[in-house]
């Protein structure tokens, strides 16, 4: 099956239509769904509707088709955020993703996102895409025929975010190195301090490679945790908190001296780097903006 093509097969499934209304009675809850193809009639299409910004789908013994619409109830600020109303969706297939193929449909063209994984092939990686206001996107999941479907499960986690800029995406295919790795300007830094899931001052202890995600894993020794939405940096007593932050491998991050202000988002339970200026540069930027009464939020700077 080629990566691109016209929708001309009724057995393909509309898996994900962002902000497209549909009625369904098959979802387990508002965020996740788990079901089996064994209960489906040949050629039938299951109807599913979920309404969260993140969740999971587990399709055991893929057979026939599913039809899932996703209508997340994003907060108005998130939906309109700095991305100008852009909604970014990411899917993270499980390492045991088998029995189906996942496609993105945009303007009538299909792009293969996740293929039916063979036993010896590497684990599938996160794939992301964006929806602009008024644009209609869909994902198609096609069950692939197998004589033995007893060990096949097509599972993935999904996330949708408003205002998640391309430079912070996990999927590096659609991002140029310049966009992904350029330093943040002063305005972006000040906004990152206010809107990030974590804001931490710290030093780079080491940098390792995550080949599965094609990411650099930055080991951070945090001297001050200004804010963290999730428990990412932990420590006890007077010991510095420690944690990990990921960024694209192509950015070439290396360990070195100096204190940085790490900001970013949490995706699929992992911290991903947004803006990370040297702390002294951030102090200067923050002081100038505060004197001009142009800071979007307060931060207790040292």
Residue 138 DSSP code:
E
The residues pairing with 18 across neighbouring beta strands, listed in sequence order, are: 70
Would you say 241 and 222 are in contact if contact means Cβ atoms under 8 Å apart?
yes
Does residue 273 carry a pLDDT above 70? yes
Separation of alpha carbons 54 and 90, rounded Å = 9
Task: List, in order of start, the domains of the chain with CATH numbers.
Answer: 32-167 (2.60.120), 179-292 (2.40.50.120)
The predicted model gives 40-58 an average pLDDT of 81
Structure tokens at 92: 């993270």
What's the chain's length in residues? 302
Structure tokens at 63: 């057979």
Beta-strand pair 198-210/100-106: unpaired
Place of tokens 């490679």: 209
Beta-ladder partners of 264: 198, 273
pLDDT score for 18: 40
Taking the CA atoms of the chain, what radius of gyration do you get in angstroms?
21
Query: Is pLDDT above 80 for 168?
Result: no
pLDDT value for 146: 73
pLDDT digits (tens, 9 = 90+) for 51-109: 888 899 998 888 877 777 777 766 554 444 445 577 788 889 988 888 888 888 777 78
Question: Which band of pLDDT confidence, cut at 50, 70 and 90, is reported for residue 163?
Answer: low
**3-state class (DSSP) for residue 17:** strand
Place of tokens 């990412």: 232
Q: Are 134 and 8 in contact (CB under 8 A)?
A: no
């Amino acid at each position: 099956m080629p990566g691109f093509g016209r929708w001309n097969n009724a057995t393909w499934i509309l898996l994900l239509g962002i902000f497209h209304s549909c009625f369904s009675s098959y979802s387990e809850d508002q965020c996740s769904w788990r079901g089996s193809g064994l209960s489906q009639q040949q050629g039938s299409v299951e109807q599913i509707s979920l309404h969260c910004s993140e969740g999971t789908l587990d399709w055991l013994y893929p057979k026939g088709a599913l039809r899932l619409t996703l209508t997340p109830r994003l907060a108005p600020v998130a939906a309109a955020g700095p991305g100008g109303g852009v909604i970014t969706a990411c899917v993270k297939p499980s390492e045991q993703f088998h029995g189906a193929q996942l496609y993105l449909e945009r303007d009538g063209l299909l792009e293969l996102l996740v293929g039916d994984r063979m036993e010896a092939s590497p684990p599938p990686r996160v794939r992301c895409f964006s929806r602009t206001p008024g644009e209609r996107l869909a994902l198609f999941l096609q069950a692939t025929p197998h004589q033995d479907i007893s060990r096949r499960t097509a599972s993935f986690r999904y996330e949708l975010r408003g205002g998640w800029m391309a430079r912070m995406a996990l999927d590096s295919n659609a991002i140029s190195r310049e966009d992904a790795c350029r330093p943040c300007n002063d305005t972006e830094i000040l906004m990152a301090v206010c809107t990030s899931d974590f804001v931490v001052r710290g030093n780079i202890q080491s940098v390792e490679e995550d080949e599965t995600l094609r990411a650099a894993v930055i080991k951070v020794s945090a001297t001050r945790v200004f804010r963290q939405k999730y428990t990412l940096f932990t420590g006890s007593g007077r010991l510095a908190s420690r944690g990990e932050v990921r960024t694209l491998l192509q950015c070439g991050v290396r360990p070195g001296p100096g204190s940085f202000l790490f900001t970013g988002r949490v995706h699929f339970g992992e911290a991903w780097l947004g803006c990370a200026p040297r702390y002294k540069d951030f102090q200067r930027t923050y002081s100038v903006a505060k004197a001009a009464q142009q800071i979007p939020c307060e931060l207790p700077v040292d």
